[in-house]
Amino acid sequence: MSSQKNSKKIVILGTGGTIAGKAGRAGDNIGYTAAQVGVDELVQAIDGVAALAAAGRLVTEQVAQVDSKDMSFAVWTQLARRVHHYLAQDDVQGIVITHGTDTLEETAYFLQAVLQPAKPVVLTCAMRPATAVAPDGPQNVLDAVAVASWPGAQGVVAVCAGAIHSAQDVQKVHTYQLDAFSSGDAGPLGFIEEGSLRLMRNWPVAHAKHAPIAIKSIADSSAQAIWPYVEIVMNYAGASGAVVQALLAQGVQGLVVAGTGNGSLHHELEAALLKAQAAGVEVVRATRCLNGRVLPKPGDAIPDSKGLSPVKARVALMLQLMG
Ligand code: SIN
């Protein structure tokens, strides 16, 4: 690494999560309250990160303090604006975001879609609270800082349990284990081993697909983003069109359906979705399967999600409608 690169800053933005959680008892890894410890306190306790601070190369900012199950459009908007702000600073090398694991994949996909950064933006997290006997947060932060500092790194990625996942592929797949994320068929982008990166694939590249209006209205601090009303419905044994009908009555603008298998739908649910589509609601078909993607067939009336999981397809549809 050149001395020029070494003088650049790493920004750590705090948003809450288990990584900032506190339990009443050190052995308790599930009965804690998320989003209690400030990002400053959290990262200053980690040796390698404190060294960055001592060298004047660390900036921290508490953007939010939430349990990520409660993630909101307001937090997303603020987070996109702050990331946008720091990405534009010449002396910033990369950004780390501490985040809860529960909706991390949605935030990662959202930030990649609207910002498509040419610098690294690394979301990290923990499965155990900060008060645990052996918390996983400090190592994850240290690994995330290594990724954010890596020459040539770019795009939004997630770092957890020594693996780097792209925003496109990352999914939380375990309720409890420390290695809670997977990139499915694609596999991880790489691994962090004692501060060094072993890359398996290329860094995420920018796609000009998402509407520039959405990017502008979210990231530009002068604009007030309007979030379209998009919901997710699921196919299952005995599914009906009742939920779709109720959502139509509520003025839903977009629907993502988590179909079974290759996006298959119960005939009653399909009929309701086609009716919604005819009424002007955008409908997208994803799959509830963890791996694979919906393979389109000639004559499909409902477009597929282009490999996106239902929650990410919802974000993509909101951005599409916003644009
Ligand atoms: C959260 O998502 O904020 C709580 C759960 C976690 O971070 O593991």
pLDDT > 90: percent of the chain:
89
Distance from the CA of 230 to the center of ligand 1, in angstroms?
23
Residue 103 has pLDDT above 90, yes or no: yes
**Averaged pLDDT, 126-144:** 98
Average of pLDDT values for 84-102? 97
Taking the CB of residue 245, how many other CB atoms lie within 10 A of it?
A: 13
The letter for the amino acid at 98 is: T
List 15, 18, 98, 103, catalytic entry? 18
282-287 and 254-259 as β-strands: parallel, antiparallel, unpaired?
A: parallel
Confidence band of 218 (pLDDT split at 50, 70, 90): confident
pLDDT, mean over the chain: 94
36 lines ligand 1 (CB under 6 A): no
- Identify the structural domains of the chain with CATH numbers, from first to last: 2-199 (3.40.50.1170), 228-322 (3.40.50.40)
Establish whether 18 is a catalytic residue. Answer: yes
Own/partner pairs for 70-79, CB < 8 Å, 24+ apart? 71/100, 71/103, 71/106, 71/107, 73/225, 73/227, 75/15, 76/107, 76/110, 76/218, 77/218, 77/225, 79/13, 79/15, 79/107, 79/111
* CA gap 275, 278 in Å, rounded: 5
Q: How far apart are CA 166 and CA 188, in angstroms?
A: 7
Helix (H) or strand (E) holding 61: strand 58-66
- Judged against a pLDDT cut of 90, whether residue 315 lies above it is answered with yes
Query: Mind listing the pLDDT tens digit for each residue in 150-181?
Result: 999 999 999 999 999 999 999 999 999 999 99
Instruction: For residue 180, give the ligand 1 atom closest to its CA.
Output: 8
CB 101 less than 6 A from any atom of ligand 1: yes
For a ligand 1 pocket test, name from 106, 107, 125, 141 the mutation site with the most ligand atoms within 8 angstroms of its C-beta. Answer: 125
Query: How far does the centroid of ligand 1 lie from the alpha carbon of residue 161, in Å?
Result: 15
User: pLDDT over 70 for what percent of the chain?
Assistant: 93
What's residue 3's pLDDT? 39
Among 72-86, 219-233, 295-309, where is mean pLDDT lowest? 219-233
Q: Does the structure show a pLDDT above 90 at 33?
A: yes
Q: What is the pTM of this model?
A: 0.95
Q: For the chain, how many helices (H) and strands (E)?
A: 10, 15
Q: How confident is the model at residue 208 (pLDDT cuts 50, 70, 90)?
A: low
Instruction: Give the tens place of pLDDT for each residue, 253-273.
Output: 999 999 999 999 999 999 999
> Rounded to the nearest whole angstrom, what is the distance from the C-alpha of residue 311 to the centroid of ligand 1?
16
pLDDT at 279: 98
Which pLDDT band, with edges at 50, 70 and 90, does 323 fall under?
confident
Residue with tokens 């929650």: 311
